[in-house]
């Protein structure tokens, strides 16, 4: 894959606006999907289709997901690749970043379309240019890990990861944290992104934070930080709260509990006296 000059774009600046009534139908469908046990798939699909009639691109994405895998039930949702592709095409026509990313993935895997690395890379780059954080981390992964070692470009990878990590996508933020931990060996910046994920309701982020300050730390999990029983207790308590209510967010976490400096790397391995900024 060859990519032009890097540009950082945010998904929120390119996503089409959502119709208010369609958003209500979408949220009702999402609530029904979260019901434990037998789900009313017929009503869920009906609500998504109503929202899609008003160009609700999130409903398109979710319904396409159902058609991609199929879901059992009485009745369930029958797997239907052609309907999935049709919904992805509609997202692309609306210039939804996630639509370009979805098409890149199916082209890469040959799911419903002819497998094509050229098409996949083209759509992946377009998705990244439109601000898709998932596409940005995918390109970052390519530069950091998938090229032959002498051609890997951690600096270019970092640009994509940082752009993705500045957006509110937990998967992208987690992958950004992993990049800093594994490729850069930059522990304070890695934990910074795990804290950012935790503030958005990530159990994984809270687990890493709790482990980092554990009184009797594991050398694998402590990121090289000094034990801190109070911080360990704080993050363990937040993890327990999230376990009881997975919808919780902690928006003031980073402001109220800024990370202490790392014993050897400071606030950032490359800039020890400067706190990481998005």
pLDDT per position as a tens digit, 237-260? 999 999 999 999 999 999 999 999
d(CA 128, CA 121): 10
d(CA 122, CA 101): 10
Tally the C-alpha atoms within 13 A of residue 8's C-alpha that lie toward its C-beta: 13
More reliable by pLDDT, 221 or 130: 130
Residue linked to tokens 């996949």? 120
Average pLDDT, the chain: 93
Residue linked to tokens 């937040």? 238
List where CATH 1.25.40.10 sits in the chain: 11-129
In this prediction the pTM is: 0.91
Q: How confident is the model at residue 220 (pLDDT cuts 50, 70, 90)?
A: low
Radius of gyration of the chain (CA): 21
Burial (Cβ within 10 Å: 0-12, 13-18, ≥19) of residue 54: middle
Give the tokens for residue 172: 């992208």
Q: Calculate what percentage of the chain has a pLDDT beyond 70.
A: 97
> For the segment 57-84, what is each residue's pLDDT rounded down to a tens digit?
999 999 999 999 998 877 889 999 999 9
Q: Calculate what percentage of the chain has a pLDDT beyond 90.
A: 83
d(CA 29, CA 37): 15
Give the tokens for residue 232: 């360990």
Q: How large is the average pLDDT for residues 76-101? A: 96
Q: Is the pLDDT of residue 209 over 80?
A: yes
Pick the CATH number of 11-129 from 1.25.40.10, 1.20.120.420, 3.30.360.10, 1.20.120.80: 1.25.40.10
> For the segment 165-202, what is each residue's pLDDT rounded down to a tens digit?
999 999 999 999 999 999 999 999 999 999 999 999 99
Q: How large is the average pLDDT for residues 18-34? A: 97
The pLDDT of residue 2: 56
Cβ neighbours for 249, distance < 8 A, ≥ 6 positions apart = 199, 200, 201
> For the segment 116-156, what is each residue's pLDDT rounded down to a tens digit?
899 999 999 999 999 999 999 999 999 999 888 888 899 99
Q: Is the pLDDT of residue 231 over 70?
A: yes
């Amino acid at each position: 894959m060859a990519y032009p000059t890097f540009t950082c774009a945010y998904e929120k600046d390119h996503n089409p606006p959502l119709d208010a009534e369609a958003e209500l139908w979408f949220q009702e469908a999402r609530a029904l999907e979260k019901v434990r046990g037998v789900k009313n798939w017929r009503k869920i699909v009906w609500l998504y289709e109503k929202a899609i009639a008003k160009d609700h691109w999130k409903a398109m994405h979710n319904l396409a997901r159902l058609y991609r895998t199929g879901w059992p039930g009485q009745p369930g949702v029958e797997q239907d690749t052609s309907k999935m592709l049709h919904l992805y095409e509609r997202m692309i026509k609306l210039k939804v970043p996630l639509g370009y990313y979805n098409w890149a993935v199916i082209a890469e895997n040959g799911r419903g379309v002819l497998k094509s690395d050229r098409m996949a890379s083209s759509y992946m780059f377009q998705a990244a240019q439109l601000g898709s954080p998932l596409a940005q981390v995918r390109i970052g992964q390519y530069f950091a890990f998938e090229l032959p070692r002498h051609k890997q470009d951690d600096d270019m990878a970092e640009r994509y990861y940082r752009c993705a990590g500045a957006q509110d996508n937990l998967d992208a933020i987690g992958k950004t944290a992993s990049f800093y931990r594994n490729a850069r060996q930059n522990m304070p910046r890695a934990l910074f992104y795990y804290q950012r994920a935790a503030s958005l309701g990530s159990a994984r982020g809270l687990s890493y934070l709790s482990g980092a300050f554990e009184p009797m730390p594991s050398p694998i999990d402590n990121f090289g930080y000094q034990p801190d029983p109070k911080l360990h207790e704080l993050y363990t308590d937040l993890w327990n709260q999230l376990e009881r209510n997975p919808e919780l967010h902690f928006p003031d976490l980073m402001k109220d509990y800024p990370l202490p400096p790392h014993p050897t790397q400071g606030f950032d391995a490359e800039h020890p006296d400067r706190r990481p900024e998005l």
